[in-house]
Amino acid sequence: MFFSFPAILHMVIMTTEFLIGTTVNGFLTIVNGYDLAKSGKLLILQILLICTGLSRLGLQMMLMIQSFFSVFFPFAYEENIYGSNMMFIWMFFSSIGLWFATCLSVFYCLKISSITKSWFLWLKFRISKFIFWLLLGSLLASLGTATVSIEVGFPLIEDGYVLRNTNLNISDMKLRRNNDLLLVNLALLLPLAVFVKCTSMLFISLYKYTCRMQGRSQMSNARTEAHINALKTVTTFFCFFVSYFAAFMANMTFRIPYRSHEFFVVKEVMAAYPAGHSVIIILSNSKFKDLFGRMICLKKEE
């Protein structure tokens, strides 16, 4: 079988992103799981990071499976990737990954922002219960999105996404228009809208505080430095989230030519999000950064 250079390069990039993603998300899941078990209390941030880490591990696995089939088994791609079970799992992890990231942005917004409006303070004082119900709602919304996507059906793509396996029973598949499935995924505009709103509020709050401290010539203040780092983290998080959402929606149009350069780029952009943002979480937290650094040093010594 002949492998083109773009396909080989794509596999190298996806494998790198997969290894980084599984390492950092596995690290976040284990460390926060240990902290949760050790404390014996329901620590909402630890629960959030565990949920986020697990969802991203699942998403990274699904993206890797898709890339593996598209490169090494191109003729079996649709039969395996568009089966009901695989499609359900793919849509579930894609949806819940967005929702959990939104929950994380809501948590940071409530925890850090210095907004004094009554409704904001009401949520701030009830942050643990609010985030818990938000996580539960995210799980139910993701299950609903995945279930409805199965009912809508799986489109056949004209530009190379044709079913080449004659043994596949086409009558068992619900073939509808591409736009039907895309319409279902527009429900994910809700977590995007909430994320953008919370991130904007947090960014404005941090920016105002930083400017105020600069005006008082307190740039050496540790809290000011922390806010500057938080600004960088929020900006990077926003870029990763929006780029993933744009790539996901482009992927769900099913109009990108199969195994084309654009097809590979979309998958690579999507895989960069669960790996890249978790790296940012680790680097922006001194505890995680030190633990991760020690873990890498131990591996090098071995």
pLDDT tens digits, one per residue of 240-290: 888 988 888 888 776 777 777 888 899 999 999 999 989 988 988 888 888
**Mean pLDDT score, 157-163:** 41
How many angstroms separate the Cα of 159 from the Cα of each of 30, 138, 151, 241, 262?
43, 35, 24, 29, 13
| Whether pTM exceeds 0.85 | no
Q: Taking a C-beta distance cutoff of 8 angstroms, is the pair 156, 163 a contact?
A: yes
Q: How far apart are CA 146 and CA 93, in angstroms?
A: 9
Q: Taking a C-beta distance cutoff of 8 angstroms, is the pair 106, 131 a contact?
A: yes
Q: List Cβ neighbours of 80 (8 Å cut-off, separation of 6 or more).
A: 69, 73, 86
Q: How far apart are CA 227 and CA 46, in angstroms?
A: 21
Q: Which residue has the tokens 């079988």?
A: 1
Q: First and final CA of the chain: distance in angstroms? A: 39
Give the CA-trace dihedral at 34, 38, 42, 47, to 10 degrees.
-10
